[in-house]
Amino acid sequence: MIRLSKTPLAFKNLTHNVRRLAVAVAGIGFAVVLMFMQMGFRNALFYSTVKIVTDIDADILLINRAQYALPARQSFDFKRIMQARSCPGVAAVYPMYTETVGTEWKPASGGKPYSIRVIAFDPDDPVFLIPEVRAQTSVLRQPDTALIDSRSKKQYGIPETLKLLREQTGAELANRAIHLAGTFPLGTDFANDGNLMMGSANLAKYFPMRALGADPLSTVDLGIVKVEKGTDVSAVQRNLNHRFEGTELSVYLKSELIDKEIGFWDHSTPIGYIFSVGTIMGFVVGVIICYQIIYSDIADHMPEFATLKAMGYRNRFFIGLVLQMSFYLSIVGYIPGLLVSWAVYLALAQGTGLLLEMKLAHAALVFVLTLGMCTASGCMAMRKILNADPAELF
């Protein structure tokens, strides 16, 4: 017995009119790109802000409890570093410094000075996980020398090659000449357009008044704690919390500080809310566009559908047909939207220095939203078939 294959009616309905299919792909793809952009900027805000913490080699971090967000610089006394070093289970504690006040950067090519974030630490301390930083700690010991973030914005005048960078002269930081010996990749965020990294001794030289007349290194911005091998990190955190109870310090696991920072930007500022609303609006726009496409296709083929109804096809057949159309629309609209979004991510990441990355989890989420968007549209549009009376159509 020869079994005949079923006609892929849903697929043929969508593809028989190439022009209409192109409009459908463009419309749904636009909604996909809109969702990707909103979600991408939202995640870039989070990941770019916490990138400096992610790249620190730490088990526990010490910060001033008044520092509600990383860009809001609040220092604490260096003596807290010494106190933390004597806590049981602590292998080492390193101070890290940041400076954003009076950090005018003037490129070697001249022009308008721009503010830049300066990050400093003792080159003998293994503070960062960034391979480029670890490989160049020797140059940070040299006077008037620094590394510049290769992902800083173009206004900082970073040469295209490392050779040109090292050969250039005339760059200034805080009205003082400085030599750039190399680069490192960190990236910008919504508060800083560029980053400079130097040894703590150079920081004290360039910013002697950062501690209001005291030793410039007597105030620390971040304490980096390494725990002894085999020691329970949470237990060490509890010991540090007990030791610094009633002081200006807060003690966080590295993951806790990252979550705290992301939570601040997501819940305590309108930025996270705005991008979330933008994603929802992209979904709504997609629903409207997809509904118009499916409804128009159903309206154009109502005589055919009426014939099928008169032949005895039940409503479940038409429900399955419309849901199949919705699924095909989500596929043909998602793929070009994904490719366009990926290209835009690359261009914006290169142009802005933000961490716009196409991660699998986010791509999967947008696909689920696209599928839900098309399915919801199909469910609204199928009412025209379900309510149709074949007798009225002939």
Annotate 151-184 with b (16+ C-beta within 10 A) or e (fewer): bbbeebbbbeeeeebeebeebebbeeebbbbbbb
Q: Judge residue 387's burial from the number of C-beta atoms within 10 Å of its C-beta, 0-12 exposed, 13-18 middle, 19 or more buried.
A: exposed
Structural domains of the chain, count: 2
Residues 295 and 381 in one domain: yes
Residues 199 and 307 in one domain: no
Last residue of one domain, picked from the residues 160, 191, 209: 209
Low-confidence ranges of the chain (pLDDT < 70): 1-7, 9, 15, 213, 388-394
Q: Is residue 61 domain-resident? A: no
Q: Is residue 202 domain-resident? A: yes
pLDDT number for residue 190 = 77
Residues 278 and 389 in one domain: yes
pLDDT number for residue 389 = 65
Q: Is residue 376 domain-resident? A: yes
pLDDT number for residue 179 = 93
Task: Give the Cα separation of 162 and 143 in Å (integer).
Answer: 19
pLDDT number for residue 370 = 93
Q: Is residue 156 domain-resident? A: yes
Distance of CA 99 to the CA centre of its chain: 23
Last residue of one domain, picked from the residues 209, 226, 254: 209
Q: Is residue 143 domain-resident? A: yes
pLDDT number for residue 2 = 37
Residues 317 and 384 in one domain: yes
Task: Give the Cα separation of 390 and 30 in Å (integer).
Answer: 37
Cβ contact 195:152 at 8 Å: yes
pLDDT number for residue 381 = 82
Cβ contact 170:223 at 8 Å: no
Q: Provide the residue range defining the domain that includes 199.
A: 102-209
Task: Give the Cα separation of 188 and 178 in Å (integer).
Answer: 21
Residues 126 and 195 in one domain: yes
Q: Is residue 264 domain-resident? A: no
Q: Is residue 60 domain-resident? A: no
Q: Is residue 155 domain-resident? A: yes
Residues 33 and 110 in one domain: no
Residues 191 and 275 in one domain: no
Of residues 297, 233, 303, the one with CA closest to residue 21: 297
Residues 279 and 388 in one domain: yes
Last residue of one domain, picked from the residues 182, 209, 236: 209
